[in-house]
Structure 1
């Protein structure tokens, strides 16, 4: 059961010189500082293996802010306030003796302390043991871990066991940065604060739902890492299934940590497994081949630098998922995610059923049905596609589809939509776990993904191919068309 925790104003960042820390976390701290959302007493300790001084570390942070924070938001006074909070400790995380230096660096710091592990999972146990051995942990200490939390159900359980040696469930903050996004949080408001949608949010009114997370980038020099993971483990197990849970879950009894987590768990429990019997009509795996994006030639996955020519790791998946419960029985959820696609876009499209009786021109009947488009990237907003009469004396009662759009930046007069990490870091300090994952969610997601992999391996389905700059293989279109459906952008 989730318990409230004391506010934390001491933050330790392991892996402080890594890409995640410098590219995402430090800019998030900057924007929180700029917004006046940080307590005056907050202190941040960066921990990494490199033997550098505090001044040199602070300069690296400044360089990162200059690179990753837009110049229109970057101000010297804000930057200086943040830098004054930051200290540095050089520490070999596998060397038990080095943790004494860490303890000394944290001498007289306020408790409880939050520990953020922006490091590979194989170092989690060493850090947790090291912190325990120097007797610095308290009952309200936080431990924050990033994905990947394992690469299978078995490995995720092993990581959880290591974390639970020294921390209880209420102290563990498992991050999926998608959950901190403004639009993702607005899914809850959209569904449960608007009777227009809440009364129609079921299989009686919704024909099908699609979730797309397309990336235009390739492996970006991470071939060895990605080839051992693949798009299914990298995106579906975490980000995509979390979006599916928020779309499909029942109304929580309260807007708190435990109620929301319980409802997400119920969705994952009701998610129909992909088996040998249905895998051929429900699951597509593919790799990108040579092609062009914006006129620039890009190599296929097997032609990337450092690639192994016999790799069968997928860079694209398309899935027909079904939820076996009262609300969603009969409504398919289509998932699509891949690298080197036509553009970077993340969106959710809710396709509502059309009325049975159609009084307008019959040749337009097949295109009728309202769609709700929830955009997470490149813009964050909501658009409802509605049908109106075409303008013109000679148009009769011909219909056209028009959007009723809500752009969060314009409608709320925001200079910038907060990043997911700003919200998540703030919630860590406040001891709020609503936006973080529980152990059961992660393990159920892994179990579903593992079953899909095993079923695919036993099937005769090939690994398909799609050219760089496309929306995926043609077979992903067939996945929907066999049920009379289409991707929104096709």
Structure 2
């Protein structure tokens, strides 16, 4: 997070080299994010985007594809007026990661200009990471001005992740490696740090004495879409829990860092990952719910079950839903349950962090039987970013009954004259500017893999299939039971 508040400075001159430039991630997220930075004047005028793909298409054909598939998703007339200038930055080059000659042509193109910063973004399958790094080293493109961005999932377990990291580290120093987790770039996650450490109000309450439980949810309405072949080898635990959810947990639970420098923040996150109580293999059935969606409805339309999706084996046991009861073994959080949940084909698209505070020890006012605690902080990451504090107030009229109320901070309207920037835009600018604070360090990643390893092992050794849940619901009934054993419920069930 080092200097991430100072995002107004223009990025230095750069070459942004995008591997996988014809892929879904590049078209839906990366190129729109770079365009937004371009339209806002955040990119150096001589910044160049070198789009690499294995498809044998001409430069003009690639730009035509962007006209057809990227431009329509951008916002309004302002986008159209800036679009041509953005296209002028782009050079398309056919590079197959398994063919050396393409890298020779890339090196010639990059070295001809010698930009101040060279960014390599690997929006490719992880098994290509090592080959790409070897080829970049062979053609002399791994020097100090180079930075490399690695997309998740980095491996499928601790051993494979460490093997990839070790090979990448042969060619790039740790301060050149940017392991991206786009949730860390969201404005509301940044605001979580500000709320915690910029105000005296919450810090005395942010501990086991006052917090009853913490819930972190990332729910998606979509199914696997066109990613069936990829997703069936990964599953929700690797795709979402090992990275996004654990990173959000760290942001909630970490101790105040000594500064906003990159390593001060990442050191505190690592302490939380190390303090997570291991879930032993024999405890997995009790503390972890594994689910898979079956046919149901999404947006009012019928949708198939996971096993009937394209690219999915009919007998697949890959999980599309995970819920976990976790605990942190330190003085601040001992005994407080942290519930993590993620799933596809859920009832709605939402990502949120909910901190439930303890109830008052004795209530003077009438309250409905079984009512939820009055005080909770809800940090919504998507679809709209907001922070909402719930409390109780007196119901109007001739009564002493309490009424739930809330204080809302709608982040989109809190500073209406300040342009909001998306998570990918923030992170890509941070890469170009050399800011590592919002990226995952190698030891963080390794510790996260260590923590999920017993869960993976238990699932590999069991014959029990994932618990089915109907598409368009909040997941298997066992997910609610996970909390009800503690006398609790998910936020939306209260």
Provide the residue aligned with 1:329 in structure 2.
334
TM-score by length of 1: 0.95
Could you give the per-residue CA deviations for residues 282-324 of structure 1, whole angstroms, max 9, x where no partner exists?
1101111121223311111122234322211111111000000
Deviates more, 1:321-330 or 1:95-104: 95-104
Q: Which residue of 1 aligns with 2:271?
A: 266
Mapped pair 1:455 → 2:458: yes
Q: Deviations over 1:399-438 (max 9, x none)?
A: 1111210101111115863211100111011100001111
Matches within 5 A, 1:303-314: 303-314=308-319
Structure 1 position 101 matched with structure 2 position 105: yes
Aligned-pair CA distance for 1:388: 0.7
Kindly report the root-mean-square deviation, in angstroms, between the aligned alpha carbons of the 2 structures.
1.8
Query: How far apart, in 2, do the equivalents of 1:461 and 1:332 lie?
Result: 26
Secondary structure (helix, strand or coil) at the match of 1:213 reads strand
Matching of residues 228-267 of structure 1 within 5 Å:
228-267=233-272
> 1:354 — aligned with what?
359
- Spell out the pairing of 1:56-71 with structure 2 (5 A cutoff): 56-71=61-76
1:147 matched to 2:165: no
Name stretches of at least 5 consecutive residues in structure 2 with no aligned partner: 3-10
| Shift in CA distance, 263/341, structure 1 to aligned 2, threshold 3 Å | same
- Does the 8 Å CA contact 1:347/1:376 hold for their aligned counterparts? yes
Q: Deviations over 1:144-187 (max 9, x none)?
A: 11111111111101110110111110110111111111111111
Give distance in 1, aligned partners of 2:175 and 2:287. Answer: 37
1:340 match: secondary structure: coil
SS in structure 1 at match of 2:84: helix
Secondary structure of the 1:228 match is coil
Distance 1:359 1:462, change over 3 A: farther
* Aligned-residue offset at 1:10: 1.8
Aligned to 2:5: none
Structure-to-structure mapping, 1:103-142, within 5 angstroms: 103-106=107-110, 107-142=112-147
Cα shift at 1:363: 4.2
Q: CA deviation at 1:51?
A: 2.3
**Aligned counterparts of 1:104 and 1:157: Cα–Cα separation in 2:** 32
Counterpart pick for 1:488 among 468, 491, 494: 491
Name the CA shift for 1:17/1:260 in 2 (closer, same or farther; >3 Å). same
Whether 2:89 is the aligned partner of 1:85: answer yes
Once residues 417 and 155 of structure 2 are traced to their aligned partners in structure 1, the CA distance between those partners, rounded to angstroms, is 37
- Distance in 1 between residues matched to 2:459 and 2:180, nearest whole Å: 29
* SS of corresponding position for 1:245: helix
Tell me, yes or no, if the aligned pair for 1:354 and 1:370 is still in contact at 8 Å.
yes
SS where residue 64 of structure 2 aligns? helix
Question: How many angstroms does 1:349 deviate by?
Answer: 0.5
- CA deviation digits over 1:306-347, x for unaligned, max 9? 432221111111100000011100100001110111011111
Task: Report how far residue 23 of structure 1 moved.
Answer: 1.2
Report whether the alignment pairs 1:217 with 2:194.
no
Q: Any unmatched runs of 5+ in structure 1?
A: none
Q: Distance in 2 between matches of 1:211 and 1:63?
A: 37
1:274–1:455 Cα contact (<8 Å) kept? no
Inter-CA distance 440–60: structure 2 relative to 1 (3 Å threshold): same
Number of aligned pairs? 483
CA contact (8 A) 1:344 1:377 kept: yes
Matched residues in 2 for 1:289 and 1:123: separation?
33
Maintained 8 Å contact 1:280/1:459: no
Q: Post-superposition shift, 1:214? A: 0.6
Q: Could you tell me how far 1:121 is from its partner in structure 2? A: 1.2
Separation of aligned partners in 2, 1:483 and 1:283: 14
- The residue aligned with 2:420 is 417
Task: From the superposition, tell whether residues 64 and 295 of structure 1 become closer, same or farther in structure 2 (CA, over 3 Å).
Answer: closer
Aligned pair in 2 of structure 1 residues 321, 459: CA closer, same or farther (>3 Å)?
Answer: farther
Superposed displacement of residue 260, structure 1:
0.6
What is the TM-score of this pair, normalised by structure 2?
0.94
Cα pair 1:279 1:455 within 8 Å, conserved: yes
Q: List aligned pairs for 1:276-287, cutoff 5 A.
A: 276-287=281-292
1:439 to 438, 442, 445: 442
1:358–1:365 CA contact under 8 A, matched in 2 = no
Select the residue among 476, 480, 490 that pairs with 1:477.
480
Distance 1:255 1:466, change over 3 A: same
Residues in 1 aligned to 2:28 and 2:226: alpha-carbon distance in whole angstroms: 16
Task: Assess, with a 3 A threshold, how the Cα gap between structure 1 residues 73 and 198 changes in structure 2: closer, same or farther.
Answer: farther
CA shift at 1:444, angstroms? Answer: 0.9
Q: What does 1:393-432 correspond to in 2, within 5 Å? A: 393=398, 396-413=399-416, 417-432=420-435
Secondary structure (helix, strand or coil) at the match of 1:485 reads coil
Asked if the contact 1:132/1:166 (under 8 Å) is kept, the reply is: yes
Q: 1:94 to 1:363 in 2, by over 3 A?
A: closer
Among residues 162, 166, 181, which one is paired with 1:161 in the alignment? 166
Deviation per CA, 1:366-392: give whole Å up to 9, x if none: 433301000011110100011011112
Q: Flag the 1:242–1:313 CA change in 2: closer, same or farther, 3 A.
A: same
